[in-house]
Structure 1
Amino acid sequence: MKKAIACLLLVVCSYQTISAQTSASVAIPENKGFSVERLQRIDKLIQRYIDSGWIAGAVALVTHNGHTVYYKALGYDDKEQHKKLEKDAIFRIASQTKAITSVAIMQLYEEGRLLLDDPISKYIPGFKNPAVLNQFNKADSSYTTVPAKREVTIRDLLTHTSGISYAQIGTPVANAIYAKAGVVGGIGLLDGTSAENIERLAHLPLMHQPGEHFTYGLNTDVLGYLVEVLSGQSLAEYFREHIFEPLGMKDSYFYLPKEKYTRLAMLHSEDKSKHVVNMEPKIVINGEFYRDYPLDPDGKFYSGGGGLVSTAYDYTLFMESLMNGGVLNGKRILSAHSVRLMTQNQIGDLYVNGSRLTKFGLGFEIVTDAASGRSTSPPGTFSWGGMFSSTYWIDPQEKITAQFVLQQFPNSHGDLGEKFKVLVYQALQ
């Protein structure tokens, strides 16, 4: 009898995560729709990649109907120091920041501060009378333009159809034009502000006519600056007051307080043989990139497109609120109607990153019926990820949220994230 009780307690402790202050609770997966035995395949998959030297470690957190069914940290936080990875490690979530910024925009929409089809120039005048790139001279990065057919709207920015590309990690042409003007990607910096960056960007050409293509770029950084303009707060202050504190997200920041410095996970890279190594403190990615930028005590560059750090636990609170139609534990951050808008196709027949199967809402990639036929995700699942190999998804049909976090760039073995998704669904009973 004692042995049976001990085994039961072991299972509970292995799978609990979200505390009583949230909507998710301790669960024994067999009782909550998941197979314990089949979930263990996730451990074996991740461990195989660790043993192969392809990744240092990973944290994974899965909830179902508000109950945590899987929450583990495997491998190393710092591979060179053999420091074990902990579940509460703080990660650079990079482009997972975009969803939070998009929610902030929708909050302002709900307050009557903006309309989605307003031109961005109504609030940031530098974007008035936009021009579109016509010809580019590689020799000196000079270019010619033609007038845009219309102005860029807030909806264009939320859907990445504005024509704005990325600095540093965009196309070679965009990288060159933005670098010459001093526009940066928004993370890995030790000086400057988002406001300065966006005001420079506002006067540069669009890569295509607004609304005609999906181009992943600095759109959400523009929206982050818009939040500051309309709210009168820094983006860090706005997030804390309107999103983090209501949801109980205690480990989410742009720049970490000193007492949490030791919890920042090591960022890894790859050697020439595609095996994982610690990233050097400073590298060049079409410009200087500082590995430990979240530890900058004087940092003021609040990138709405990629600047946040967080934990798997904290981000799950955010995902749970969206799963619940904008509310968690009685704290509503958004209306159910706005969540519905955000998670519907907003780009019509446009392709997303070359695919006609998936679509894009207001801040999220959306799984369509056609895309669902080629993956495990049901229609309506919405998701995105981050530059450092993190990924998440929210599945309203099966009531699943999942967060899978690595800290690695580049990552030649990026198929691990998709394999993780397969193993989550194969364990659903």
Structure 2
Amino acid sequence: MNAQTAARQTSAPQTPSLPHAKPEQLGLSPVRLQRLSDAFKREVDKGTLPGATVLVARRGQIGWFDAIGKQSPLAAAPMAKDSIFRIFSMTKPIVSIGIMMLIEDGHFLLSDAVAKFIPEFANQKVGVEHNGELELVPLKRQMTVQDLLRHTSGITYDHTGNGLVQRLYQESRLRSRKITNAEHASFVASLPLMCQPGAEWNYSRSTDILGRIIEVVSGKSLSAFLAERILAPLQMAETAFHTAEANAGRLAEPFPTDPWTGDKVQLFNMLEKPVMESGGGGLVSTTMDYARFSQMLLNGGSLDGVRIVGRKTLELMASDHLGPEVKVDSPLMPPGHGFGLGFAVRTHAGIAPFPGSLGQFFWSGMAGTFFWIDPKEDLFAVFMMQGPGQRQYTRSLLRDLVYAAVE
């Protein structure tokens, strides 16, 4: 037994598998699912990604689960079904569920102002650009919890553009993993907003602020709340803000230089416990852990007899909350889609350049992880890789290949 195998055995995951069935029993074509795996093997052979896992489930059972390529480009270990990934923004749906659980507990309303929980947000201004200068104007209305969930808060990200407000983000300490969630929220509140709350969809640090609200309301750290209310009940034993040293042999890693963009790739160390527990992008997880979360969503909020969130609450989350009055101008929002409370939502059968179903909901992570829930087809898919530059291409490729296999 080599050291790699020993490491996997001594730190074997405790996450129970979802049930398996033959693809044809679930209305999935085994021939076409094999083509899916073959397509990603070709991507590995072309050198566009080190490796990936893909899991497709339908009617409550897994019909396809494959690990392809290498776990890390700098080591010999093959990608494994229990490899550990940085899921980045796939943290957001988990934290959004946490917020809705507190709403279901009666602690606050979606329409409550964020300043009710974090007073510094009461005095924020909106930054309006005029001839290269930033004019600060007062809020027309307060930012709400609903704004945070649907990314209409006016908060932004430092990496989604280079406007004057985003440059202030870039110059701040917001990216540090050594500040607390409370300090992070104060920094965000001290910076101007991109726009008036409710006016535009801007992908942002909003879910990090939701993570702080969870702490304020629950009196617990974000990690403790998520573990107690979501991760432990769903038996997601491998999902946390870092992983143990014993799991060093299971970490999926990207190419040091992105093969498509040529950019240097530097992702956080999964073995290092951060001070900042980022509700917007800090979790590490496995394919099966996220499959358990996905099956809970597909089931309408429960798994194995454990209800996490109410069916009608989840229905609200998976509905479009933007409407025609909210300006959307972002490559992150595909045509024919809107955004709900923590997920993108398909609003049109056509328009988007890939297949799907009305009402399906999904999100993804910066390093290439991706999942979607399709209630109409009683199907979900979870895809894991660590390859930032290829993520847009692989998401569409995966959708094409999975839906081609649906009978």
For normalisation by structure 2, the TM-score amounts to 0.90
- CA drift at 1:190: 4.6
Aligned pairs, number: 391
> Which SS does the other structure have where 1:293 is aligned?
coil
Q: CA contact under 8 A between 1:120 and 1:153: conserved in structure 2? A: yes
2:270 to 276, 285, 294: 294
For normalisation by structure 1, the TM-score amounts to 0.86
Q: Give me the whole-angstrom Cα distance separating, in 1, the residues matched to 2:74 and 2:250.
A: 16
- CA drift at 1:304: 0.2
Matched, 1:124 2:118: yes
Matched, 1:66 2:57: no
> Which SS does the other structure have where 1:369 is aligned?
coil
Deviations 1:260-280 (A, max 9, x none): 232221133435x63899x66
Q: Give me the whole-angstrom Cα distance separating, in 1, the residues matched to 2:30 and 2:256.
A: 33
Q: Give me the whole-angstrom Cα distance separating, in 2, the residues matched to 1:38 and 1:130.
A: 53
Deviations 1:34-92 (A, max 9, x none): 11111110121001111111111110011001110110110011123232111100100
- CA drift at 1:416: 2.2
Aligned to 1:101: 95
- CA drift at 1:19: 10
Q: Give me the whole-angstrom Cα distance separating, in 1, the residues matched to 2:298 and 2:316.
A: 13
Aligned to 2:225: 238
2:137 to 142, 146, 153: 146
Q: CA contact under 8 A between 1:268 and 1:409: conserved in structure 2? A: no
Aligned to 1:363: 342
- CA drift at 1:99: 0.2
- 1:322-341 counterparts in 2 under 5 A? 322-341=297-316
| 4+ residue segments displaced more than 4 Å | 18-22, 370-374
Q: Give me the whole-angstrom Cα distance separating, in 2, the residues matched to 1:275 and 1:149.
A: 41
Deviations 1:278-321 (A, max 9, x none): x66xx5xxxxxxx3432114x22100000000011100100111
Q: CA contact under 8 A between 1:59 and 1:72: conserved in structure 2? A: yes
Q: Give me the whole-angstrom Cα distance separating, in 2, the residues matched to 1:303 and 1:86.
A: 26
**Which consecutive residues of structure 1, in runs of 5 or more, have no partner in the other structure?**
1-17, 284-290
- CA drift at 1:178: 1.6
Aligned to 2:22: 28
Deviations 1:340-384 (A, max 9, x none): 110011111133626552101101000012547753111000001
- 1:46-65 counterparts in 2 under 5 A? 46-65=40-59
Q: CA contact under 8 A between 1:59 and 1:312: conserved in structure 2? A: yes
2:169 to 178, 183, 201: 178
Aligned to 1:410: 389
**Which consecutive residues of structure 2, in runs of 5 or more, have no partner in the other structure?**
1-12
Deviations 1:82-129 (A, max 9, x none): 321111001000000000010000000001111001000011000003
Deviations 1:8-51 (A, max 9, x none): xxxxxxxxxx99956x4120111221111111101210011111
Q: Give me the whole-angstrom Cα distance separating, in 2, the residues matched to 1:137 and 1:388.
A: 36
Aligned to 1:381: 360
Letter in 2 for 1:207: M
Matched, 1:342 2:328: no
Aligned to 1:353: 330
Q: CA contact under 8 A between 2:261 and 2:389: conserved in structure 1? A: no
Q: CA contact under 8 A between 1:369 and 1:379: conserved in structure 2? A: yes
Q: Give me the whole-angstrom Cα distance separating, in 2, the residues matched to 1:238 and 1:223.
A: 13
Aligned to 1:223: 210
**The 10-residue stretch of structure 1 (345-354 or 129-138) with the greater mean CA deviation from structure 2:** 129-138
Q: CA contact under 8 A between 2:15 and 2:238: conserved in structure 1? A: no
1:41 to 1:68, Cα distance in 2 relative to 1, 3 A? same
> Which SS does the other structure have where 2:270 is aligned?
helix
Matched, 1:164 2:128: no
Letter in 1 for 2:149: L
Q: Which has the higher contact order (CA 8 A, sep 6+)?
A: 2
1:20 to 1:310, Cα distance in 2 relative to 1, 3 A? closer
> Which SS does the other structure have where 1:104 is aligned?
helix
1:108 to 1:53, Cα distance in 2 relative to 1, 3 A? same
Q: Give me the whole-angstrom Cα distance separating, in 2, the residues matched to 1:170 and 1:222.
A: 20
Letter in 2 for 1:251: E
